[in-house]
Structure 1
Amino acid sequence: MKFFYVFHAKTIKQLTLILIAAFFTAMFLFMETTIHMPVFSSKDDPKAIYKGENDIALTFNIGWGDEKAEPILDVLKKENVKAATFFLSGSWAERHPDLVSRIVKEGYEIGILGYEYKDYTELEADKIRQDIAKAQTAFAKLNIKDINYVRPPTGHFDKKTLESAKRLGYTVVHWSIDSKDWTNPGANAIVERVGKAKKGDIVLMHASDSAKQTAKALPSIIENIKENNLKLVTVSEMIANASTSTEEIK
């Protein structure tokens, strides 16, 4: 009987520990999937901006291609969209100075998408700075000034990316809504994904040639945003008008 009691008590203790661990694991997973939490650190550590507080920022990456940027600009003009942010690679900008000029003349903001299509997490800090600086030189030659933001070409970044950008005077901008338009899932699927955007969201879209359905999806996306009484702004306007959510990468 004594052996049974000891065995029974040990089993209960083990089961209790397992249940407690399972409870906290489930709670962590629930919070991770339902709550978008920024990671806070000291105020001087470099961080990436991924979300604002008010309005919505449509952002378009262009790293390559000759065909899709102009139709997207045509849609934005037709839909009377006055604010958007285009992250352009320096190499693309050099090859398309007329489109870069049009983006500026129509009042849209420009950010840097590196120079070449490189994964910054696979580069040393000096190589990251060289790539950003090369893009900086390309835009300077096109007389594009006052660029404040960088988006890593592949979307992947780490702490050395943030520090390298900050050292050159730039802030890294990520996103909170990914349209996945480059996968060409169909215009309706793109509209549905972006339709989840709420005030403060930064939306990732593409105007490279791989995104074949973005222009078709844009009118419905813009209509939905207007119907929800949300205002389209540039990344700079979003940051200037309210607090932003930032994430530290270790």
Structure 2
Amino acid sequence: MNFFFVLNGKTIKQLTLIIIAAFFTAWFLYLESYIHIPTFSDKNEPKAIYKGEKNLALTFNIGWGDEKAEPILDILKREEIATATFFLSGAWAERHPDLVERIVKDGYEIGLLGYNYVDYTNVEEEEVRKDLATALEAFKKLNIKNIKLARAPTGHFDQKTLKIAERLGLTFVHWSVDSKDWTNPGVEVIVKNVSKAKKGDIILMHASDSAKQTADAIPSIMKELRKKGLKFVNVSEMIVNADSKTKEIK
């Protein structure tokens, strides 16, 4: 026995819409599993600082290597940049106590970049707590105490991370201007990325060995930013002296 299905134009149109809707739903769920999207949450939940009201905060991440940090410190001194915040990996600090001492001696602020290179959104709460606590302990052994700022090693964090940081007495700091210097796109590109900074911005740069062009870009960056008449402050000063802006993360 043969069966025949008769489809009219209206039925075909409905089936097509159902298939398209199913495709986009599946695609959205797929992307959602890979992309961390900042979303607004309850006002009473901990937040991450990403921007201030005035001045500029220059920040550097260091997670590995011993070749680029010192030249960058030399250039900052030559350019008379007396204020910046360095987010340091605890493991890196243990391996390079002399460079940590130099950063402190030069008057720069230190924040945590965790201990290991861990994506806090992909691990359990206890592992996040352990990583941050281990980093704090590493700096205490180096006689650097009262660290109040932290940044996620991979840049990814969630509400779970913020709650753990708050319990440890840490404020999470993100950024509003990304130099993308770790991709080594060329000195001119790095300068262009940073020179768009405005009052209140927190600038992300790197002093790890992966950032091979950062040192060469700094003089031109300083020249462009000084044209705007903005003062450089560390992140703590920006938080204290201005109404900092936050992002609420679920």
TM-score w.r.t. the length of structure 1 is 0.83
Query: What is the Cα deviation at residue 50 of structure 1?
Result: 0.3
The residue number in structure 1 matching 2:187 is 187
The residue number in structure 2 matching 1:178 is 178
The residue number in structure 2 matching 1:17 is none
The residue number in structure 1 matching 2:168 is 168
Residue 152 of structure 2 is aligned to residue 152 of structure 1: yes
The residue number in structure 2 matching 1:217 is 217
The residue number in structure 2 matching 1:116 is 116
Query: What is the Cα deviation at residue 59 of structure 1?
Result: 0.4
Q: SS at the partner of 1:77?
A: helix
Report matched runs for 1:62-77 at 5 Å.
62-77=62-77
TM-score w.r.t. the length of structure 2 is 0.83
Say if 2:195 and 2:221, in contact at 8 Å, map to a contact too: yes
Query: What is the Cα deviation at residue 183 of structure 1?
Result: 0.3
Say if 2:39 and 2:249, in contact at 8 Å, map to a contact too: no
The residue number in structure 1 matching 2:59 is 59
Amino acid at match of 1:84: A
Q: Name the CA shift for 1:245/1:38 in 2 (closer, same or farther; >3 Å).
A: farther
The residue number in structure 1 matching 2:244 is 244
Report matched runs for 1:95-134 at 5 Å.
95-134=95-134
Q: SS at the partner of 2:147?
A: coil
Say if 2:120 and 2:157, in contact at 8 Å, map to a contact too: yes
Deviations 1:41-100 (CA, angstroms, capped at 9, x unpaired): 32x311000000000001000000110000100000001111000000000000110110
Q: SS at the partner of 1:209?
A: coil
List gaps (5 residues or longer) in structure 2: 1-37
Please tell me the root mean square deviation across aligned C-alpha atoms, in Å. 1.2
Task: Give distance in 1, aligned partners of 2:95 and 2:198.
Answer: 35
Q: Name the CA shift for 1:217/1:164 in 2 (closer, same or farther; >3 Å).
A: same
Task: Give distance in 1, aligned partners of 2:163 and 2:237.
Answer: 23
Count of residues in Structure 1 that have an aligned counterpart in Structure 2: 213
Amino acid at match of 1:104: V
Task: Give distance in 2, aligned partners of 1:199 and 1:40.
Answer: 26
% identical aligned pairs: 67
